[in-house]
Structure 1
Amino acid sequence: MIFGKWIDKRIDAYQSDLMKKYCDEVESMYTKMRGWRHDYHNHIQAMQASMALGRYQEVSDYLRELNDDLVNVDTVLKTGRVMVDAILNGKISIAAGNDIPVNAKAKLPPNLDMNDVDLCVVIGNLMDNAIEENRKLNPEKRFLRIYIGMKNTQLYIAVTNAAGKKREKAGGLFRSSKGGRHGFGLARVESTVKKYDGIFTADSEDGGFTAEVLIPVS
């Protein structure tokens, strides 16, 4: 009983830290967007000045740089839910910042009963785990694949990432090389999925790790 309460407290603390991190990531993304919009008029004036002087190549180079900057700021995925979009794209931005190639497709069904907080807990934990595993490897070995969509009558979420050696399970959880709260992420995913009568599976092998979620859609 005492051990169970201790576990519950650890998981609650983990979730609180997780949600704070989500808020920080969302705020960072929107700060970047506001900054780009603030600079918009300055960009226009700089290009107009170059055009007036006939420096067309300079304008072309400037536009290319702006396009690259806009790609980094703009939303990559649109799932149909704003909060989920913010978290998902925030994680993708973090992955890109860690030299992790990402292949992602995501679309949520409009009739999904699962609330935004629980969706973010599931997606955020899975992606945090995937990013952490990738960071342990040399950049040339890193990859992250995300798929969110319908599979027959169920929501299907799959996250596959590069990993090192096969991870063993202990007490139903995959062992981690880190102590502290790490390792509770996947347990949190499983408990959240069960709340919706869903299924969570995870498979570890040398070189890769795959987590899959199935949740019934009414």
Structure 2
Amino acid sequence: MIAVIIDLCATFVETCGFLYLLKNEKVEIKRKIAFLFCEIIYAFCLTHFISNLRIDAKIILVVLSLIFLGKFVLKLSIAKSAFYMIIGSLLLLSSELIVMQIEMLFNTNSGKPFLVNLEGIIANKTVYLTLVYMVQRIISDISMKKMSLKSLALFFFSNIGYSCVAVCINLILVSLQDVVEPIILLGCSIIILVAFVANIIFTDKFFALEDQEQKQNIAIYKLQLQAKYYEEKTVEEEKIKRIYHDMKNHLLLLEQMNGAQIEDIHKLRQDISQYENYYRTGNKILDIILKDKLLTAEKYNIEIDDNIDLSGVNFLEALDISTIFGNLIDNAIEANTMLSTDQGKYIKISAAKKQHFLVICIQNSKAFEKKKKKVIHGYGLINVTNAVHKYSGEINITDGEREYTVNIIIPIPKD
């Protein structure tokens, strides 16, 4: 009876370790409790009613049950369930091997099987929980990522070697104890554990890089769509401008006709007058970008000061113009919206040829920061930098207390 209670307590601790590994996942408490009870009952039945199974078969069944419960009880994705449960199982196996080999090394068997068994279980679970705590900190951001089957397969096959070697050591441990020095087996187990933890670290880094690449690709795709939008809008704007000039003349005639609704005509002229005020920067794409972005800025009462002349500057691709000016103006608008008052909001934009260089400067007001922090503008600024470097240009950023300045210099290619 005491042995059964000890076994149940040990299984409880092991299952809690698995739950701790995924503590950052958004799992309901009732599901965690259900997982705990299901795994305890399953492990108890596997140990006491199917005791004639080989240890390797038991390990496989336990891992499969954990993955199954993680998927259908905890409602994790199959990839995340397999990831967490495989890690937890290998940590559990590693802790058991290490404790067993330490017992062999120091010959802890003093003729008191119960005490030795109890002390071994306590030591085993202590090592296991320590490993779980350390590894959980390494993989704490996994819950924020959508793991793919490709990532799971990479993790599984990179760890299959550790699993096979660990199981083999466990299977032949008793038969080798009289032939091989225990210190050798202990050293092998520790090396396997260290390699396994290192692989978890590299796997986590791989997931982070994969996630970063995915976000970067999404950002580039959005820029491509934005550039296409501006190209299409350029054609549309040209049509509207031609229509406006014809319509303006027609409205002037209508105003002079008897019985015409002068007020209605005047209102119509005001509605279409916005198409008479458009930018002429020397680049049609940039004209559309400025009109679009600066209309947004005006909604937030941001004062605009622009001095742009890109006449003769035709080496920049539409996507790169959209990337550089679109992202930087978006950042400037966002920084201004952080100000508590409408007074003092401004964006200054200048761009022109100076000798053999295209010089771009964008300045904007920003909220005062008492504690200096590194400003991160995410993938937008990364894409701006990449676009500038594409033309062998340089970008310099000055993050002042109340003003943010971006200076860009791009050499103009010789014809």
Q: TM-score range by the shorter chain?
A: 0.7 to 0.9
Q: 1:27 to 1:116 in 2, by over 3 A?
A: closer
2:343 is paired with a residue whose SS is helix
Aligned residue in 2 for 1:157: 360
Q: How far has the Cα of 1:139 moved from its partner? A: 1.8
Is the 2:223–2:319 Cα contact (8 Å) retained in structure 1?
Answer: no
CA contact (8 A) 1:77 1:105 kept: no
One-letter code aligned to 2:363:
T
* Aligned CA distance change for structure 1 residues 139 and 37 (closer, same or farther; 3 Å): farther
Question: Does the 8 Å CA contact 1:83/1:116 hold for their aligned counterparts?
Answer: yes
Tell me the equivalent position of 1:139. 342
Partner SS state of residue 352, structure 2:
strand
Structure with more of its chain in strand, by fraction: 1
2:324 corresponds to: 122
The answer on 1:6 being equivalent to 2:211 is yes
User: What amino acid does structure 2 have at the position aligned with 1:117?
Assistant: L
Equivalent residue letter for 2:367 = G
Match of 2:391 in 1: 196
Percent identity at matched positions?
21
**Partner-residue secondary structure (3-state), 1:214:** strand
1:144 and 1:162 in contact (8 A); partners too: yes
Aligned partners of 2:279 and 2:244: how far apart in 1? 24
Could you state the TM-score of these two structures normalised by the residue count of structure 1?
A: 0.74
Amino acid at match of 2:389: K
1:161-196: CA deviation from partner (whole Å, max 9, x where unpaired): 111124632xxxx23xxxxxx522112111211111
Q: Please name the residue that 2:351 is paired with.
A: 148
- Structure 1 residue runs of 4 or more that deviate by more than 6 Å after TM superposition: 25-29
Q: Which amino acid aligns with 1:62?
A: H
Q: Structure 1 residues 80, 141: closer, same or farther in 2, change over 3 A?
A: same
Gapped regions of structure 2 (runs ≥ 5): 1-204
CA shift in 2, pair 1:91/1:27, >3 Å: farther
1:151 shift after superposition: 2.5
How does the TM-score come out when normalised to structure 2? 0.42
Which blocks of at least 5 consecutive residues in structure 1 are unaligned? 176-181
Larger Rg: 2
Does the 8 A contact of 1:26 with 1:90 survive in 2? no
Counterparts of 1:215 and 1:35, CA distance in 2? 32
RCO (CA 8 Å, sep 6+): is it higher in 1 or 2? Answer: 1
How far apart in 2 are the matches of 1:133 and 1:154? Answer: 28
| Greater percentage in helix | 2
Alignment correspondent of 2:283: 81
Q: Assess, with a 3 A threshold, how the Cα gap between structure 1 residues 40 and 135 changes in structure 2: closer, same or farther.
A: farther
What count of residue pairs does the alignment treat as equivalent? 202
Offset of residue 80 of structure 1: 2.4
Q: Judging changes above 3 Å, is the alpha-carbon distance between structure 1 residues 111 and 104 closer, same or farther for their aligned structure 2 residues?
A: closer
Letter in 2 for 1:135: T
Aligned partners of 2:360 and 2:209: how far apart in 1?
29
